[in-house]
Structure 1
Amino acid sequence: MTLPDFEVRFVDKVDAVPSALWDCCFAPPLEGRWWYESLEAAGLDDQFRFFYAILCRDGREVGLAPLFLMDVPIELVMPPALLPTLRLLGRVFPSLLRQRTLFVGSPCADEGTVGFLPGIDRRAALLCFQDALEARAAALGTSMLVWKDMPSGMDEDFAWLAGRRRLFPLVSFPGTEARLPSPRKEDYFAAMKASRRHLFRKKLRRSAQAVKVSVEVVQAPGGEVLDEIFELFWQTYEKAETKFERLNRRFFELLAERTASHFILLREAEGGDLIAFMLCFAVGGRLINKFIGIDYHRPKEWLLYFRLWEAALDWALPRGFTTIQSGQTGYAPKIEMGHALVPLTNHCRHRHPLMHRLYAAIARTVGWHTLDEDLARFLKAHPDATPGA
């Protein structure tokens, strides 16, 4: 096939990308320019370096890929069973334990996105991006290049690309999404499996008996409320087993200024203490459940996660949202509450052929069942849910 002539240029700032390109390539229901501006301004330079690849044809900008550079601890991406072997190898090859990686995507977006103007040959564009990114990775002294958390709708394109450039697929943590069939709460419950519906309602009743809460949805919370929010976020972050990024209060302050951001706050009715929150982004017909925080010092019997989800549901339904996207990890309660699992894949290349073959062999052993215990239990009960089954 004859491929169109493209070229790629790299820029270091969000505002170096034309606004029209952001608007076209990252329109709702995606997190748009405002998301990348917030990341860039949050002071996360100790973890990430952000930049952007612009695809051009005949001097016109026709595509956009957000990028970031990160030194990735190996335990974030490899199955626990393989870590002892890799740590032994790391004594001989220290770079195995912390890979400097050039990512296409965003550190905490729910799926990777590469945006193109209508009519652009996507495969030819991906090939041009790949060649430019390989050259950029070499210039940066980067071992790995990863297209992060790409949706299944691009699998065939990446299989085509892998046949022309050295890439291997690595199964990623799946995303989660709850579909809202109508503005009626009864229809949401009716779409759930009967056993899950019964269990969810039972937990809501038990929680209501254990604690009375008030619910408030706010935009642009003030400094004192933001302090409360971030304190709960940090408590939840510290409790998490999987930590890819370490966010700061400044990031939340920047997000609070965005019109898409809505904070769902649960307070104990008696005393008014903040006991849970959810930061949501309203983008088109999708509500993105982005960050949560829960006061884990409270009794487990309060079942605050389920009350928080109900509050989000009660806010989303009358406003016409058709889906709630709830991100990766924490699968057990999400599955209970009617979320579907959304397959995502990392497409990877190591600069050194021997290490590339080693990582490709390891990647073939990785699946949902190796990434997360909740997923392993779910797949044991529902083997037909395994990707490719």
Structure 2
Amino acid sequence: MTEGYVNQLEPAGLIAAFAMHPPEGFDVRIAENGLPLFTTQFDLLTTVDPALRQRLARWPGYPGWRKWLTLETCFIGATTSEYACLPRQQDPAALLHWIETHCGDRHPLTIIKDLPVASPLLSADDNDYSRRLIDAAEARGYISVEGQALAVVPIDFTSTDEFLARMSRSRRRNLRRKLRSRDALRVEVIPCGDDRLANAGWRAQLYQFYLSVWQQSEVHFDLLSAGFFDHLLLDKHSAGKLFCYWHGERLVGFNLCYQYQGRLVDKYIGFDYSLALKFNLYFVSWFVNLEYAIEQGLQEYVAGWTDPEVKASLGASFTFTRHLVRVRNPIIRGAVRYFRHYLESDNKWAGSPPT
């Protein structure tokens, strides 16, 4: 796997691991042109607001027509990259032709996922490529759907005290109270591939912590495997950093980040919830990551897609994506066009974060 995708924010090894250890129910491959893609049974209501899903369940005939909303879908991209990583050698028109020939004509639904829209994290050339691809796809009848909000903190401060000073007094006081929990924790940053991670039992514990977080999530899509995590944790060439939080000799939680191209990219977390909530680990880890980014002279902390409301309160700004959807069945295509705005759950985070 070589570096050099359009829209790449993390080491290409994460895409290689995704192909080698697919999530449950995914058929993943890297095409001959370098394009990552996967097929799976996809529920169109996956990202719909839970309240809307409950209302739909009360519609007449729901058990009968509900099954028609789960379709075999070909996704262009990978769930292990922040953006759709695309081969540089193909112009947008040629790429769309390839996708339609190899995916769109074979599957009821094709989705080019997580295309950046004027991302501050990318070069002008990469943003221009995505803009041209979106324009060309819409001209060919693809449905453009707004994606999730990617949280970003530019490291334009020299300390977390300076960062906190930008917030309101009440917010600052609330966070300082939560951050007192850090005094009871020991923080350790372990590079992936370290000898300690050769312990299979410890890797299994880390995976169980990941499962705890996945199981309590509102959206269940890609269940990553233990083999996938083993691959990442044992890869000493990946620039992965495992942030571990200990209370005495007991592991409270972790997050796995990648230091890549001047950024800290936060990828995966795992908690022992019986302790993580007690020690406000979500908030503590946020500030530990910011401190690490400052110490390393990094430009941004890329904090992922989930929990935008909480991340906004922690000072994140947001950049958006678009998904390009090609539906083969004209009836379902009309339904997706009509309901597409109900799938755009994160658009309220486009503005400045609250204080």
TM-score, normalization by structure 2:
0.83
Asked whether 1:69 is paired with 2:36, we answer no
* CA shift in 2, pair 1:282/1:143, >3 Å: same
C-alpha displacement at 1:50, in angstroms?
A: 2.2
Aligned to 1:46, the other structure's residue is in SS state coil
User: Corresponding residue for 1:17?
Assistant: none
Deviation track 1:86-111 (CA, whole Å, cap 9, x = no partner) reads: 894672584x2321111111123222
1:199, 1:227 → 2: CA distance? 35
Q: Note the 1:214-363 alignment, pairs <5 A.
A: 214-219=186-191, 220=193, 221-223=197-199, 224-258=201-235, 259=237, 260-269=239-248, 272-298=249-275, 300-363=277-340
Matched to 2:189, the amino acid is V
Q: Which has the higher contact order (CA 8 A, sep 6+)?
A: 2
1:87, 1:49 → 2: CA distance? 37
C-alpha displacement at 1:181, in angstroms?
A: 0.9
User: Corresponding residue for 1:84?
Assistant: 57
1:282, 1:190 → 2: CA distance? 26
1:264, 1:230 → 2: CA distance? 14
* CA shift in 2, pair 1:367/1:26, >3 Å: closer
**Structure 2 gap segments, 5+ residues each:** 119-126
The aligned length equals 333
* CA shift in 2, pair 1:53/1:202, >3 Å: farther
Matched to 2:99, the amino acid is L
Rg (Cα) greater in structure: 1
Asked whether 1:126 is paired with 2:96, we answer no
Asked whether 1:151 is paired with 2:116, we answer yes
2:64, 2:270 → 1: CA distance? 38
Whether the aligned pair in 2 keeps the contact of 1:65 and 1:104 (CA below 8 Å) is yes
User: Corresponding residue for 1:166?
Assistant: 141
Match of 1:98 among 70, 78, 82: 70
TM-score, normalization by structure 1:
0.77
Aligned to 1:197, the other structure's residue is in SS state helix
Matched to 2:5, the amino acid is C
* CA shift in 2, pair 1:326/1:48, >3 Å: farther
* CA shift in 2, pair 1:268/1:180, >3 Å: same
Whether the aligned pair in 2 keeps the contact of 1:53 and 1:67 (CA below 8 Å) is no
C-alpha displacement at 1:32, in angstroms?
A: 3.4
**Structure 1 gap segments, 5+ residues each:** 1-13, 15-21, 55-63
Whether the aligned pair in 1 keeps the contact of 2:142 and 2:325 (CA below 8 Å) is yes
1:357, 1:331 → 2: CA distance? 30
Match of 1:48 among 24, 27, 32: 27
